[in-house]
Amino acid sequence: MEPHSYGLGRGEALPNYLGMFFTFADQAGAILVCRNHERITNEAKALELVSEATTIPVPKLLEHGIHADGRRYLVTELVEGVSLNAFPRPCSKPRNEQHTTDQSLPCQACSDQAYSNAAEFIERTVLPQLADLKARSRGIDGFVMPPSWLSPVEVPWKGKTSWKTLPLQQPDYVFQHGDMAAHNLIMDPCTLQPKALIDWEFAGYFPAGMERWVGSLDPEAYLRRRNGRAHVIAEFLAEEFLECCDKWHDRDELDELVRAGDLPNPDELKDARI
């Protein structure tokens, strides 16, 4: 079994995206570079908060800071296990109790049990404890990550560099992981129980429901969060959306997305806010 390596200790290099840049190509072929500095600090703060204020198992934060060249980094304790999205895999039962006679074949029974255990963990442990963490402003300490179900290269968000904290009179924002998915859950391959919830870079305080948890860790259900976003944008991101629309130069492109139901109608949204 290969251990899942979310972070490495003992001075070893961290072989993933942390501290680097993301590059995207939009439909017109333009290359957009999104700096990854802030999301690393955001994840470090989220890990500290969740580990101190809840019993949700997360990777232990060992170190985070800034390299001499300006890149930020984050190092966590190694969490051994397998990612939930690695299931189905060979049967986890002892040899005399296995569901399959061929160990080389994936075991659907173990996969179903792992997904069931993980969903129960989210519903009974993660969501209730995070809901108890509340704040008056969005994000964490003044920085707001856009939701994981939006793309920074899509109309009209392309070019947007910051998101507002939108403070309230009362602490009605609740803490959210922001990207609840099978690939962010580390499972014990023997017990089929969750060992850690990882990748907290999208975390922060947001309106309840903004994360779009669909009640399932099925990969297809996760992808469907991006569908039918017009009403969700209108409910949770109206102010940000209208500002982006006012700056967007191609009104025909925007109107086409509105007609397709991908975006709310900005004129109707403005009228509703008057």
Residues of the chain by 3-state class (helix, strand, coil), percent to 5: 35, 15, 50
Q: Note whether 6 and 77 are within 8 A (CB).
A: no
**Domain extent for 80:** 21-227
Cβ-proximal residues to 74 (8 Å cutoff; 6+ apart), any chain:
7, 14, 18, 19, 40, 43, 44, 61, 63, 64
Burial readout 112-140 (b: 16 or more C-beta within 10 A, e: otherwise): ebbbebbbebbeebbbeebeebebebbbb
Predicted TM-score (pTM) of this structure: 0.84
Whether 53 maps to a domain, the answer reads yes
**Whole-number Å distance between alpha carbons of 220 and 149:** 13
Q: Locate tokens 């006012």: which residue?
A: 246
**Whole-number Å distance between alpha carbons of 179 and 196:** 14
Whether 141 maps to a domain, the answer reads yes
Smallest CA-to-CA distance from 195 within 6, 61, 1 is with: 6
Whether 246 maps to a domain, the answer reads no
Whether 113 maps to a domain, the answer reads yes
Whether 30 maps to a domain, the answer reads yes
Q: What is the pLDDT of residue 106?
A: 87
Q: What is the pLDDT of residue 100?
A: 73
Q: What is the pLDDT of residue 153?
A: 82
Would strands 204-206 and 72-76 be described as parallel, antiparallel, or unpaired?
Answer: unpaired
**Whole-number Å distance between alpha carbons of 159 and 164:** 15
CA distances from 134 to 118, 139, 184, 201 (A): 24, 11, 23, 18
Whether 265 maps to a domain, the answer reads no
DSSP state of 97: G
Whether 255 maps to a domain, the answer reads no
pLDDT in tens, the chain (274 residues): 333 333 333 333 333 333 333 333 444 443 333 446 788 999 999 999 999 999 999 999 999 988 888 888 899 998 999 999 999 888 887 776 676 766 778 899 999 999 999 999 999 999 999 999 999 999 999 999 999 998 878 889 988 889 999 999 999 999 999 999 999 999 999 999 999 999 999 999 999 999 999 899 999 999 888 888 999 999 999 999 999 999 888 889 999 999 988 899 999 999 888 6
Question: Counting Cβ atoms within 10 Å, is residue 206 exposed (0-12), middle (13-18) or buried (19+)?
Answer: buried
For residue 265, give the amino acid letter: N
Domain count, the chain: 1
In terms of residues, how long is the chain? Answer: 274
Q: What is the pLDDT of residue 139?
A: 97
Whether 236 maps to a domain, the answer reads no
